[in-house]
Amino acid sequence: MDREVAECAVCGAEVEAGRALPIRFVGKRWFVCGGPCRVAFKREPERWVAARPEAGRGGEGVAAPPPRMRAPGPFRVR
């Protein structure tokens, strides 16, 4: 069975589409594999966009992984 994957914009790891963390930057959706890569991308987005321009998705005809769903609850962990 084929699985949809996204490439981490920071480290280049392949991540299952449902587990990738999306970040919007310059009109495209970029994906990261986890918290440390998300922090790195948010600190210096231009650096990572220049390093992996093919990792960004956006525009017409490009499917993006579905957003991560969180269970409803009274507390939100940050």
| For the chain, domain boundaries | 5-55
How high does pLDDT run on average in the chain? Answer: 77
- Burial of 6-39, coded b for 16+ CB within 10 Å and e otherwise, reads bbbbbeeeebeeeebbbbebeebbbbbbeeebbe
CATH class of 5-55: mainly beta
pLDDT at residue 76 is higher than 80: no
Q: Tens of pLDDT along 3-27?
A: 788 889 999 899 887 889 999 988 8
pTM of the predicted model, to two decimals?
0.65
Q: Tens of pLDDT along 35-66?
A: 899 999 999 999 998 888 777 775 433 444 45
How would residue 73 be classed by pLDDT, with cut points 50, 70 and 90? low
